[in-house]
A and B are shown apart, each in its own frame.
Chain A
């Protein structure tokens, strides 16, 4: 069996909840989506954060991840997501994240339902781990612990994230492997 083929997508904050409240909609192209990668210009961009008046937050990014070709495998699970490197100088500068459902969960527990045009108060945030978590911390949007693979996955992983930057943090452009301004995320999952 070959390794599955996967993709990351950045979903516009303006996306209506009704447009992504089924697995079929989440797996299809979402209007305005952009496929993200580590290639220059393809990264998810948190934008400019103005800390001239003190600590500040970036805009919120909503991300989808899914498997587009199963490689002959039938299941994926144990999804782990972490901020593996950052060049922040202050401990107060962190990445916050919240696993999401696609707004179709009656009583979400491991996730929260997606909110269009979300603001910080829209979700309950946790600080993103900065090393590989020992257990799953992202979930398929249906809140199952695993994804069934049949050509592609049966749903997506969804999450929201933003950067909370401390007052007096070193200013600059944080991205990729830029020396002293690194910003790198990692994803690991099991399949069979």
Chain B
């Protein structure tokens, strides 16, 4: 029987799993990522619409992971589009290497490098970010 989650419906087919160095695994449907000991996360697996993306820590200059979501509204070719993307990536401490994944389709929309100063609030305070600390 499929496990029931308390979170909103949009997460029924969209979630992330966080692997910690000590072997523990957490699920974004059960815990808010800011509540995790972020410096111990060694892999993030993103599931969207039957697609699965592994973000690992194998890069030699890996420092920590970065996750956030994009929202808003944009017009393309005279058609209004709702922006709904999950950004997941890793950082070397000064820049983050991000992949934006469509919440609607699970397809990769773009990959880019962003200075950490521009996303400081989305970097976990345990690894130097300015966002709120909610560690439990």
Chain A interfacial positions (CB closer than 8 Å to B)? 1-4, 6, 38, 71-72, 74-78, 80, 84-85, 132, 135-136, 145-146, 148, 177, 182, 184-192
Least distance between A107 CB and chain B CB atoms (Å)? 20
* Residues of B in contact, count (CB < 8 Å): 30
A contact residues around B122 at 8 Å (CB):
75, 77, 190, 192
List 6 tightest A-B contacts by C-beta distance, closest first: A188-B72, A146-B121, A186-B74, A192-B68, A184-B75, A84-B75
- Distance A182 CA – B78 CA, assembled complex (angstroms): 8
Cβ–Cβ < 8 Å partners of B118 in chain A? 78, 135-136, 145
B128 at the interface (CB under 8 A from A): no
Contacts from B to A (Cβ < 8 Å): 7-8, 10, 32-34, 67-76, 78, 80, 83-84, 87, 118-122, 130-132, 134
Q: Please list 10 pairs of residues, one from A and one from B, whose beta carbons are closer than 8 Å in the complex, sorted by A's number.
A: A4-B71, A77-B119, A77-B121, A186-B75, A188-B73, A189-B70, A190-B69, A191-B69, A191-B71, A192-B122
Whether B119 lies near A3 (C-beta < 8 A) is: no
Measured between C-beta atoms, what is the minimum distance from B127 to chain A in Å? 14
- Contact (Cβ within 8 A) B75 A85: yes
Given A85-B78, A190-B87, A192-B33, check contact A75 B131 (CB 8 Å).
yes
In the bound assembly, the distance between CA atoms of A189 and B90 in angstroms comes to 20
Closest CB in chain B relative to A46 CB, distance in Å: 17
For B70, the chain A residues whose CB sits under 8 A away are 188-190
